[in-house]
Amino acid sequence: MKKQEERCRLVLIVPQDADAKAQADRLEKALAGGDVASVILPQYDEDDTAFQDRAQLMVPMIQAAGAAALIAGDSRVAGRVKADGLHMAGSMEELEETIEKFSPKMIVGAGGASERHTALEVGERRPDYIFFGKLDGDIKPEAHPKNVALAEWWASMVEIPCIAMGGTDISSALEVAENGAEFVALRLAVFDHPEGPQEAVRLVNADLDEKAPRFEA
């Protein structure tokens, strides 16, 4: 087992950027900074064609770095660009249908669980992971306390891994890790870091290596 797999790992969420090439360049730098478990590509307000073109640019880059490329929401785009999986945040019916259709060929993760009852309903569908928070929910330096509390509760009782959304400061990654989540998602904390995304990922991994709790084998 790799050292990183013994503790909370980093998930990147690509931020919105009108310049796809500049966005891809920032992502490439982030991936060069150290261990990244997966990268989620949201569609934001792009049309399907533009989103597919952007994903086509980034998915091979993500996979070459050893991370899983996850497309938020659009299974057609995910298939066309040969992504590793899908991040779903719609209805229970949509999640169930997606898991039935694509699992285990592709990773299928689930967002949209903002309280315990919904989270347990999601868990009954057996996604590959559950995500606490919104993909663009990093609006304060720290992780949202509700997401951290949900992740702590979930990780203590359910085997399905969880990802908790961090804040705009890289120190929020350790905050999430200390509460038991298997993964922490960062967006602006990495891509808007004053020293650049590569250094941000390096610093996050160094902090997690040194201070994050270890999972039992």
Element (H, E) at 109: strand 107-110
Q: In angstroms, what CA-CA distances link 91 with 73, 111, 115?
A: 11, 10, 15
Radius of gyration of the chain (CA): 16
Q: Tokens standing for 146?
A: 């509700």
Q: What is the distance between the alpha carbons of residues 112 and 88, in angstroms, rounded to a whole number?
A: 8
Q: What is the pLDDT of residue 135?
A: 97
- 13 contacts 40 by C-beta, under 8 angstroms: yes
Q: What is the pLDDT of residue 217?
A: 62
Q: What is the distance between the alpha carbons of residues 73 and 87, in angstroms, rounded to a whole number?
A: 6
Tens-place pLDDT, residues 156-165: 999 999 999 9
Q: What is the distance between the alpha carbons of residues 127 and 88, in angstroms, rounded to a whole number?
A: 10
Q: What is the distance between the alpha carbons of residues 4 and 11, in angstroms, rounded to a whole number?
A: 12
Q: In angstroms, what CA-CA distances link 88 with 34, 82, 149, 164, 184?
A: 26, 17, 21, 15, 17
Q: What are phi and psi of 161, to 5 degrees?
A: -65, 155
Mean pLDDT computed over 74-81: 94
Q: Alpha helices, DSSP H only, in the chain? A: 20-31, 48-64, 75-80, 92-102, 116-124, 145-155, 172-177, 188-191, 197-211
- Residue 181: strand pairing partners: none
Q: What is the distance between the alpha carbons of residues 112 and 133, in angstroms, rounded to a whole number?
A: 7
Q: Is the pLDDT of residue 102 over 90?
A: yes
The proportion of the chain whose per-residue pLDDT surpasses 70, expressed as a percent, equals 98
Tens-place pLDDT, residues 134-157: 999 999 999 999 999 999 999 999
Q: Give SS3 for 185.
A: strand
Q: Which amino acid is at 66?
A: G
- 24-35: string of b/e by CB count within 10 Å (b at 16+)? bebbbbbbebbb
Q: Is the pLDDT of residue 1 over 80?
A: no
Q: What is the pLDDT of residue 25?
A: 97
